Structure 1
Amino acid sequence: MTDLERLREMIESHHKIAFFGGAGVSTESHIPDFRGANGIYRQKTNLPWTPEEMLSHHFYEEHPVEFFTNYKNFAEAMVAAEPNRAHYALARLEEEGKLHGIVTQNIDGLHQKAGSQNVMELHGSILRNYCTQCGRSYDVDSFLSLCSPVPHCPYCGGIVKPDVVLYEEPLDMDTMEDAMDAIQTADMLIIGGTSLVVYPAAGFIDYFAGDSLVMINQDETGRDSTCDLVFHDSVGKILGEVVGV
């Protein structure tokens, strides 16, 4: 029996599957990951800051023009992206009653675009934005139209901030609790497209108490040895072939 056949058999025999995913889920949608060979953190810029620092809370406060100029480029690329086989495969599994929750570190909204309903976005979403002064909400198109380059609320003049978790910011407590519950109550957990080095999110998989743990990631991770099945391949390719999308 091949590993793909084993994975297909695992999915068929489980009925409360959770998926924990990272940036590698969206690479086939032409959104670069962070720490991979061609990741964002390896890209060279002419600026004196690293890409990681430019996504931090202190940079947002201290260099708003540079922050929003950089962030707008990220957001526009994500808005233009379309779901890939990984997103559609997970949406299919949810529709079939197999998958009961997606816990994602991504902020691109592609899981929902593919049709998934129960998605826990640990790091927020580019699709949601809010005025830090009056609290008014803005969708992504309205937000992007306000970036010139710093987006100000036309009603009160406050800065409109993306509803994403920057480095140095805490995760949303309700989202964390929902994510931990989805993983803890799952009978099977599929981990995909994440190097499992960003905490506290990476620690969530420790709550898994089921009997089948699967890893799908291009690179090796420190958790590979604890998994029942490991694929060093793209998430879209593996899940697409197994689910048939």
Structure 2
Amino acid sequence: MNGIETLHQWMQESERVVFFGGAGVSTESGIPDFRSTDGLYNQQYDYPPEQILSHTFFMRWPEEFFRFYRDKMLAPSAKPNKAHRALAKLEEQGKLTAVITQNIDGLHQMAGSKKVLELHGSVHRNYCMRCHKFHSMEEILHSEGVPRCSCGGIIKPDVVLYEEGLDQQVLQESVDQIRRADMLIIGGTSLTVYPAAGLLDYYTGNRLVLINKTATARDGLANLVINESIGKALEGFL
């Protein structure tokens, strides 16, 4: 039995499946990841992306931050791919209890997933730093320079920048979901970014599945490793 057949069998036998995904889930929708050879971290800018996407940089040079953010972090034309749609279907069937994602693109919700825990926030939520009024992604996209609220405050995307902590409520709920899971599928992540990568340590079951095109640092802990794209591995559930 090959890896994908085993995945299907385990899915049938499991009752509480949790999916934890990274950038590789969205690359098939045309959203570049950060760490691949042609990812954002290997492109040339006046400043490294890690620096631009830091809290300090945002506060000090907001105009430069938003120039990069609009250009590289927003993908308004991106659509859910096979992986997003398969996960939404599994949730609809009562198999999948939660999607935990490091992505900020909102594609899981667009595909129909209801229980999505966004560790790093979402580009679809933006708030005025002064009056906390909500603003849409479209407002940010079509603004110029530093986007400002009608009250005059700067609008900040609800995404976790470098130097900022994760939302503790989202993190705790993610931990709870993983603890209760009888099957944990991790896909499209190199498992190198903490604290997110440490979440799999809370899984105590014996159906840990790692799906990634290349090897990850935690392959040795997995009960099943599938070196394939997420879309290819999950398309059989559509």
Q: Secondary structure at the residue paired with 1:157?
A: coil
Matches within 5 A, 1:1-245: 1-45=1-45, 47=46, 49-77=47-75, 79-145=76-142, 147-154=143-150, 156-241=151-236, 243=237, 245=238
What CA deviation, in whole Å up to 9, does each residue of 1:153-172 have, x standing for no partner? 12x10000000000110001
Percent identity, aligned pairs only, is: 53
Q: Secondary structure at the residue paired with 2:26?
A: helix
CA distance in 2, matches of 1:92, 1:32: 25
What CA deviation, in whole Å up to 9, does each residue of 1:3-47 have, x standing for no partner? 1111110111101000110000000000011111221111223x1
In the superposition, the TM-score normalised over structure 2's length comes to: 0.97
CA RMSD of aligned residues (A): 1.0
Q: Which segments of structure 1 move beyond 3 Å, counting only runs of 4 or more?
A: none
The one-letter code of the counterpart of 1:168 is E
The one-letter code of the counterpart of 2:161 is L
| Count of residue pairs brought into register by the alignment | 238
What CA deviation, in whole Å up to 9, does each residue of 1:126-172 have, x standing for no partner? 00000000111111112323x31100112x10000000000110001
CA distance in 1, matches of 2:37, 2:74: 23
CA distance in 2, matches of 1:239, 1:75: 26
Task: Extract unaligned runs of 5+ from structure 1.
Answer: none
Q: Secondary structure at the residue paired with 1:52?
A: helix
The one-letter code of the counterpart of 2:213 is Q
CA distance in 2, matches of 1:37, 1:215: 21
CA distance in 1, matches of 2:4, 2:65: 43
* Cα deviation, residue 109, structure 1: 0.1
In the superposition, the TM-score normalised over structure 1's length comes to: 0.95
Moved more, 203-212 or 117-126: 203-212
Q: Secondary structure at the residue paired with 2:184?
A: strand
Q: Secondary structure at the residue paired with 2:49?
A: coil
What CA deviation, in whole Å up to 9, does each residue of 1:62-121 have, x standing for no partner? 1111100110123432x2100001100100110110000010000000000000000000
